[in-house]
Homo-oligomer: A and B are copies of this chain.
Amino acid sequence: MAEARNIEVVPESYSYVFNPYREAVVNVRPGDRVTIHTNDAFESRIQSKDDLPGKALATAKFLNPQTGPIFVEGAEPGDTLAVRIESIEPTRDFAVSAMIPYFGGLTSTTMTRTLQEPLPEKVWVWDLIEDGSKIKNDDLGVTLDWDPFMGTLAVAPDLEAISALAPGPFGGNMDVPDVRPGNTVFLPVWNEGALFYTGDCHARQGQGELCGVALEITSKVTVVFDVIKGKAIEWPRIESEHRIMVVGSARPMEDAARIANTELILWLEEEHGYDRWDAYQLLTQAGGLYVGNMVDTTYSLVASIEKKYLPGSG
């Protein structure tokens, strides 16, 4: 068996779609430690409070630049790609957030149209402090824990090329805080090599990502891929030390909740020996269900159950 390698992926250009037609930027093997450089969702156009989005993003035809695709050897359609997240390191000492016209959870948008004026534009800069363990904004006078995660990670869809702003069965712009170091994300494979993309790391984010812009950072993400042969899944799954989770993305939001919970029940049934209705009962009494994002092209909800309720777990 080949020795695991350390591979660093520095993008020369970005993709703005999860695209099966784009040439791979690197080939990696399962087990390799792959460190991926990512830009932020604004491609670093917003760096200070004066970089108001209307002006700073005027030249940006597309947002949310992705590094990739990364070709994972051995991955074939019908397999599952496991992405173990080892670490997320910032490559600058601040994060930014902003209010962008007609974007976010508490404004009308291009998808939920009204005739109202947009909210004002505003930028917040948060500084990493205390050796990067905290992040602070002086205007709010608030210091929060550094709790980074990958806002966007995806495989290329089957035949389609989908905007990097979209979450979906392929993963994508889910904005789910549980896509964090220590956890493993499972994605369906539709193309040879899986064709993995990532970008849009966040220093942290509340549930719902309310204004639409988390604490956006540039970063180096280190992941290790594994390929589960002959096992097909339909929606992204996450495993943490204590929980198993499914992410459903849809509109309206209840459809995302339905997808996440249905897939979690099928998981409990297929892999953990649960009777379907008993799994439905277990989630009713002990399941978790939080909103990842209420701002993107579709909403992402996370259904979960603690591993201690899985048979044989203790």
Could you list which residues of chain A lie within 8 angstroms of chain B, going by C-beta atoms? 16-17, 19, 21, 62, 97, 99, 105-108, 111-120, 122, 124, 126, 137, 139-142, 144, 159-163, 204-215, 250-255, 257-259, 261-262, 265, 276-278, 280-291, 294, 299, 301, 303, 309, 311
CB distance from A159 to the nearest CB of B (A): 5
A299 and B254 within 8 A (CB): yes
16 A–B contact pairs at CB < 8 A? A62-B159, A106-B115, A106-B258, A108-B108, A111-B255, A114-B116, A126-B285, A140-B281, A142-B282, A162-B162, A205-B285, A208-B289, A210-B261, A210-B283, A210-B287, A215-B285
Known: A211-B284, A284-B210, A285-B144. A252 touches B252 (CB 8 A): yes
Does the CB pair B116–A206 fall under 8 Å? no
CB-based contact B124/A113 at 8 Å: no
Q: Chain B residues near A259: list those with CB within 8 A.
A: 111, 113
Are B284 and A205 in contact, CB atoms less than 8 angstroms apart?
A: yes
Q: Is the CB of A160 within 8 A of B287?
A: no
Q: Are A258 and B113 in contact (CB under 8 A)?
A: yes
Find out whether the CB atom of A117 lies under 8 angstroms from the CB atom of B115: no
Contact of A286 with B160 in the complex, beta carbons under 8 Å = no
CB-based contact A17/B160 at 8 Å: yes
B140–A278 touching, CB < 8 Å? yes
Q: Closest CB of chain B to A76's CB: distance in Å?
A: 15
Cβ contacts under 8 Å, A253 to chain B: 252-254, 257
**What residues on B are CB-neighbors of A106 within 8 Å?**
113-115, 258, 261-262, 265, 280
